Amino acid sequence: MSQEPIQYTISIYSENNVGLLNRISAIFLKRHINIESLTTSLSEIPDVFRFVIVVEVTEPQAQKLVQQIEKQVDVIKAFYHTDEETIFLETALYKVKTSFLFEERQIQNFIKESHANIVTVSPEFFVIEKTGFRHETDALREALTPFGLLQFVRSGRISVSKAPMGISQILNSFKENLT
């Protein structure tokens, strides 16, 4: 197993209980591991939630993190994946003064070239949305910075794995064991 720290995406399927986020983040805290990004959402299964956490760790660390996460009572299953094993994206929003949109022609070019979308335009500001890889959202941020970005925000990574996760089977086998 590689001892070099690389970026891993940890995916967690869990119950949606108050305090679970705290319980999961405590596992990283205890090991002095910084969370690069964290997203929670519904999953494909009703009542089952999903965490997507990005960390930079070695593979043995990733493996142990997943073991500890999975050990938590409210966690159904956890996985770790390399970037190659997942399809992943982030979304960024950029708020810029509306006057620039018309005065600085380059801005329109940036938007077009980076396949970004204009979400809203008001007399004072407009908001651009860009979904893609980190380096793409970064590139657009750098391009827009000289024009005075009023606000910038980027979501955590969302990701789906290329391999199946098999959560429904786990839940079904639980039901069979109960009856």
Binding site for another protein (CB under 8 A): 14-15, 17-19, 22-23, 26, 29-30, 60, 63-64, 67-68, 70-71, 73-76, 171, 174-175, 177-178
Cα distance between residue 90 and residue 53, in whole Å: 12
First to last CA, the chain: 41
| SS3 label, residue 70 | helix
Which one, 50 or 157, has the nearer CB to another protein? 50
What 3-state DSSP class applies to 56? strand
Minimum distance from CB of 74 to another protein (Å)?
Answer: 5
CB of 27 to another protein, least distance (A): 8
Closer of 15 and 142 to another protein (Cβ): 15
Residue whose CB is less far from another protein, 80 or 100: 80
Compute the radius of gyration of the chain from its Cα atoms. Answer: 20
Task: State the minimum distance, in angstroms, from the CB of residue 84 to another protein.
Answer: 23
Nearer to another protein by Cβ, of 84 and 176: the residue is 176
Triad 168, 172, 175: Cα angle to 5°:
145
**Shortest Å, Cβ 2 to another protein:** 15
Of 6, 42, 34, 54, the closest CA to residue 157 belongs to 54
